[in-house]
Amino acid sequence: MHIIECKDVSKKYGTVEVLKGLSCNFEQGKHYVIQGASGSGKSTLLYIMGGLDSPTSGQVLWQNEDYSNWNDDRMAKLRNRDIGFIFQFHYLLPTMSIRENIYLPQKIAESGDANSSRIMSHTEIEAIAKKLGIESLFDRYPTELSGGERQRVNLLRAISMRPRVLLCDEPTGNLDSHNSKIVTEILHELAFEFKATLIVITHSEEVAATFHQSTRLHMKDGTFV
């Protein structure tokens, strides 16, 4: 079963074609690493797969359904529950504490009709926070954290709903080797535990090698090679 499929996806910014008729599919529960030089279109592809941007032409399918037919509400629900985003640049909300940031997806889900069985309990969240070494930061605000700490908070928030797909853009980019290892281990462990599809972008061979059970894909100039 393909959880996400891209069919002949192109993306243009003005006259520049960043993605050039790219096709790929990702199976439920499998792990993938997408490698490629800076500027090859990796982040653009990830944004499009996560429904944060739309292709200029071509289709993105979630379990065989074309995103382009979905309304905003359905798309927002997908992003809230089924997709976890871990981006290079964190998107923590500056006016909320770390605790509020971490529990924000759950709060949004509670106001809808979420399937609560996938939502992580406070105990689970605290246990992972400990592993990540961020358990003492919950009462602080994003500006009071280092880049590496924010990235780990971001990871915790992204997995707090046990998403079906984890989209990670250079997830260890701001981290020292110690924290890099912890983040990689947690991503592996949790992706296996809740059978998430893990898609990790990296330009680094070293990082790619740590995701040893992954299918490797290589991007060059807006397409897979």
Residues that bind ligand ADP in the complex, under the rule CB under 6 A: 13, 18, 36, 38-44
Please list every residue from 23 through 52 that binds Mg ion, using CB under 5 A: 43
Q: Residue 76 is inside which H or E element, if any?
A: helix 72-77
Q: Which is nearer to Mg ion, 43 or 101 (CB)?
A: 43
With binding defined as CB under 5 A, does residue 174 bind Mg ion?
Answer: no
Q: Which is nearer to Mg ion, 43 or 160 (CB)?
A: 43
With binding defined as CB under 5 A, does residue 151 bind Mg ion?
Answer: no
Is residue 115 helix, strand or coil?
coil
- Tell me how far, at minimum, the Cβ of 83 lies from Mg ion, in Å: 18
Is residue 147 helix, strand or coil?
helix
Helices (H) and strands (E) in the chain, counts: 7, 10
- Tell me how far, at minimum, the Cβ of 85 lies from ligand ADP, in Å: 14
Q: How far apart are CA 154 and CA 84, in angstroms?
A: 10
Distance of CA 217 to the CA centre of its chain: 17
Separation in Å, CA 205 to CA 46, 75, 76, 189: 19, 33, 34, 21
Residue 13 binds: one of Mg ion, ligand ADP, none (C-beta under 5 to 8 A by kind): ligand ADP
- Tell me how far, at minimum, the Cβ of 97 lies from ligand ADP, in Å: 31
Residue 107 binds: one of Mg ion, ligand ADP, none (C-beta under 5 to 8 A by kind): none
Residues lying near Mg ion in the complex (CB under 5 A) are found at 43
